[in-house]
Chains A and B, each alone.
Chain A
């Protein structure tokens, strides 16, 4: 039986290759395995050190240190970090973060690179003025602290935002969640060919991780992932 650590590792690799091949990442770092962890090539856990700094500072520090798995074409960042038990058979924690790029400068630049652009390309679709981008994070920790759901979703870095999630999330599940909800509406007819190829190349996750949600958490509004 393949170990879960290998499967998760492979998922992150598949995602990285799909992003490069289809030019959806501007920059990327290869996932590496250190002991029982899967981390980013040059990870420095900046996000943790700057937990209480402003989002803007955090974002630019991540950029400067290339502390991310993927940098999307709009400058948004994705981190996928996992920790396993000694045998690599169980996930004991994960941090799956999405850091959007808030900089106004970027909006200018995006137009600059597309100077003679038709308005229908992907970048201009992302740059919609009525949108307020916000960071989001799926955290999982086997060591449960009081009233902290083991697997939860935090939106906009709100301190007490921990929306319970029924179980840990795999890399592919996470990435597809981001892409489908915040980038491309797969419901529309003229879905960009490249985007479709990206989704195809990523493929769906074959992992089925055990449920971790408690009965108490189930009482309130939560995210159920079948």
Chain B
């Protein structure tokens, strides 16, 4: 079957005839419409359609709707051919020896509605019906180099160029970790069909792109922005992000892709890469979107500190809501500025930010495209509500990126299992989840399939991740025992000793570089206290370490120094070797079991930073509990086997393990101490050390009851 990928087209009628032809004729390969865009001399051309086939190679289509178009089709075919030919000849992969070109490129014009027969030229084919097209294709010679299909596909996507030139690690030992990583990184970069469609396909209006971390949301959004900019040079486009380090990444991806497609630099005045929040530090024409919105409409702007003071838990949501309220209250008329806004990390920026973006868009059909991590907070399921609700729209385009290209499957499944507490036993010795979301369809969306049972309350269900959503090459390089290690220690000292030793081995025997390794601590408040010992142990081995960029988010990794990170800074980073220290903290709540949910989320986030190996280290009995859970996961062959909870149970879990803030912790601690004292009083009276009458009358009844 031919995979059809629909670009933005102006030739709708003829396009659908071509698509229909390919959908019904049993060919294989990929058909793009209005794609790719290629530089051609000083201008750029958008190819009407291109079929990439294993059997025939590349066939590009020039689609003719009018007689006028038919008059100079030879010239257009030539342009298309030249553009494709010169683009693809740039890659040494497609050449043999000095001259031989291994690809076959054909260009034909397709003009099914045309009445007049233009002059037929044997070299420049014009085909007037589906029957003729079929005959033509069947008459073509077979492409003898079909093994190059993936590489050609990657070249057409421009992925060959976009792939970061990663410096190969120096390898002296076959199968050392560095050798394995080099091989892992050599994999051909090809966008999968979900990603490719999400980039190219867009019908205007709201488009939502969902996926787990590592599913390629950022690259999809970047290329989509570049593609829209290439097609509509006069549009004002903004792409916004929340984590500062993303800016450079966006800029690089967009420039490279745009250059591939057009031979030019993007016009950064038209396509802006801006922070979602922004501040007065921003350059004039790169103001953060929320900041710009406030200035444009003359309303009060809240910076992070102010907003945090007013709403501790979701400051940005509060700030945007505050902006929209001012607009409404003072009946300020909106001043739209953009034709398209693309939002990355929407899970961090909240729904009121999306509303604000929506109101900053021109036209009736607001072109808002946003990507978010489906399970950033495990319990919430999709962390944002349906846009139909909060944007009051009738319809929207929904895309799911199901494949996780970052984490090896066993690591990802373990992170999910521990995050949800799938195999956890509570202090009464019963199996009990930590958190859950009641959206059965989401399991499939994030790449799990049901092996047995049903996603219904009370049903014993088994969920598995398969290689179509977690590619095998990510895990095949090492045994499971090496991919994941859980380790318990008696104290900080022995934990630090072990980690320092292992890191020393990583750097020397395994040939890893400093930048391949990160140490993550789950609790930002005690991080500085806890990592001191480890840092001095590393120092004894002449290994420098730094605490990763609180003040300069862009410089996370350093040459010749191991990065130690708190959980918030680690977000968005991916590293081959991850050490989690003091993981026992993620197996207990702040007070009683309150806050356990959030701590499990932290463990989930920390584990999913790993591209290859993870070492979960911790101290004492709580760590033992975590190891016990991991053993269960491994014994179940990395499947999630559990009783699907009822909505009452989920509600109960959410109460017991709910998040709790510092103030609440302190109040609770105080209350618990008071309770203990009351018991002490009762004990005293019981022992005859004090008398009931020693206490105020109004409490005597209560004390009496406690004694009883």
Contacts and interface: CB of A to CB of B under 8 A. Distances in A.
B568 A121 contact: no
A101 B549 CA distance: 13
Interface stretch (B94-102, B166-174, B207-215, B522-530): B522-530
A142 B535 CA distance: 38
Interface string A150-193: 00000000000000000000000000000000000000000000
Interface stretch (B62-70, B332-340, B381-389, B539-547): B539-547
B535 A20 contact: yes
A21 B536 CA distance: 6
Interface string B291-311: 000000000000111001000
B555 A63 contact: yes
A7 to B, nearest CB: 21
Contacts of A26: 546-547, 549-551
A28 interface: yes
Interface of A: 17, 20-24, 26-30, 60, 63-64, 66, 71, 73-75, 101, 103-118, 121, 194
A105 B551 CA distance: 7
Nearest to B315: A111
Given A104-B279, A113-B568, A117-B524, A23 B532 contact: yes
Interface in B452-511: none
B569 interface: yes
Nearest to A73: B528
Contacts of A101: 551
B441 interface: no
Given A23-B529, A73-B528, A117-B524, A109 B553 contact: yes
B568 A106 contact: no
Given A20-B536, A26-B546, 15 more contacts: A17-B539, A20-B532, A20-B545, A21-B532, A21-B535, A23-B531, A27-B547, A27-B561, A63-B551, A64-B555, A104-B279, A105-B279, A108-B304, A109-B550, A112-B568
Interface in B336-363: none
B566 interface: yes
Contacts of B553: 105, 109
* Interface of B (DSSP majority class): mixed
A117 B661 CA distance: 9
B558 interface: yes
B524 A75 contact: no
B705 interface: no
A103 B551 contact: yes
A118 B524 CA distance: 11
B528 A118 contact: no
Contacts of B392: none
B165 interface: no
B662 interface: yes
17 contacts: A21-B533, A23-B527, A23-B528, A27-B547, A60-B552, A63-B552, A75-B550, A75-B552, A104-B281, A104-B303, A105-B244, A105-B551, A108-B305, A111-B304, A111-B305, A112-B550, A121-B525
B636 to A, nearest CB: 33
A106 B553 CA distance: 9
Most buried by A among B303, B308, B529, B551: B551
Contacts of B662: 116-118
A115 B602 CA distance: 13
Contacts of A105: 244, 279, 281, 551, 553
Contacts of B303: 104, 108
Nearest to A71: B546
Interface in B162-182: none
B532 to A, nearest CB: 4
B251 to A, nearest CB: 17
A22 B532 contact: yes
A110 B244 CA distance: 14
